[in-house]
């Protein structure tokens, strides 16, 4: 758990989706910092001053300002939020499609091409197998799998998810991907990897005793 926590803290944005999320996070925190600073200054002035400012109380103009100003701030936050939500759901003719099946407790990947699909299972590598493996294949404990989901970087990819038994969640933090795998339902998410490498994730929905042991290992080539 220490290794996983350390990894989740220092993530690099490796897709357009997560980059936009980080920009919007910083943009929202700017308003939050200004509001908190303003409120703290007013509270400190009230606590440290022994005088009463009657112009501050029952001031109609001031009440109008602090009613309209929050509305303007909410509009400035809501517009980019709704724009990015629409942008994430927009499908721009993906080059390839992959299908992800959640099962207890492993993942099944199926790549679609022009001729036929190629389906394969992905299981977590236990500690003994990880230690005995070659040094070049060593990866994060509880996150390395025997089979990787291989995708091309710099390409628009459509990921279709579903489940064979209970609800799972296909989640790769560095990609900004988190989509539920629900039995009898097909969910879709698009992403574009900006650089090659290995990207790890886990099931983000409690799905049983093996929930912590069905990691995701994606390789962008």
Q: Residue ranges per domain, the chain? A: 16-89, 96-220
pLDDT of 136 strictly over 70: no
Query: pLDDT at residue 1 above 50?
Result: no
pTM of the model: 0.69
Mean pLDDT over residues 121-135, rounded? Answer: 76
Distance of alpha carbon 150 from alpha carbon 113, whole angstroms = 13
Name which of 100, 142, 98 is nearest 123 in CA terms: 142
Residue 212: both structure tokens together? 């912590």
pLDDT at 11: 64
Name the strand (E) or helix (H) holding 110. strand 106-111
The helix-helix angle for 60-89 and 16-48 (nearest 10°) equals 160
The partner residues of 201 in beta bridges, in order of sequence, read 216
CATH superfamily of 96-220: Cupredoxins -  blue copper proteins (2.60.40.420)
Three-class secondary structure of residue 27 per DSSP: helix
Summarised one tens digit per residue, pLDDT across range 35-51 is 999 889 988 888 887 77
Task: Tell me the average pLDDT of the chain.
Answer: 81
Closest CA to 39 of 6, 5, 3, 66: 66
Instruction: At 126, list the tokens.
Output: 């236990």
Hey, which of 5-14, 81-90, 97-106 has the most confident mean pLDDT?
97-106
| Alpha-helix runs per DSSP H in the chain | 2-9, 16-48, 60-89, 127-132
């Amino acid at each position: 758990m220490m290794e996983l926590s350390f990894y989740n803290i220092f993530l690099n944005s490796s897709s357009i989706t997560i980059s936009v999320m980080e920009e919007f996070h910083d943009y929202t925190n700017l308003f939050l910092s200004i509001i908190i600073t303003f409120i703290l200054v007013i509270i400190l002035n009230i606590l440290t001053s022994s005088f009463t400012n009657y112009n501050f109380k029952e001031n109609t103009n001031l009440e109008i300002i602090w009613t309209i100003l929050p509305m303007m701030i909410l509009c400035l936050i809501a517009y980019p939020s709704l724009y990015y939500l629409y942008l994430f759901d927009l499908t721009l003719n993906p080059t390839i499609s992959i299908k992800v099946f959640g099962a207890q407790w492993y993942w099944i990947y199926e790549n679609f091409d022009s001729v036929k699909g190629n389906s394969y299972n992905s299981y977590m590598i236990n500690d003994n197998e990880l230690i005995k493996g070659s040094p070049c294949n060593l990866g994060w404990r509880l996150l390395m799998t025997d089979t990787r989901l291989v995708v091309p970087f710099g390409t628009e990819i459509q990921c279709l998810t579903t489940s064979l038994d209970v609800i799972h969640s296909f989640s790769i933090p560095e990609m900004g991907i988190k989509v539920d795998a629900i039995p009898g339902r097909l969910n879709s998410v698009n992403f574009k990897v900006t650089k090659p490498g290995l990207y790890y994730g886990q099931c983000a929905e409690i799905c049983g005793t093996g929930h912590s042991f069905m990691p995701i290992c994606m390789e962008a080539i």
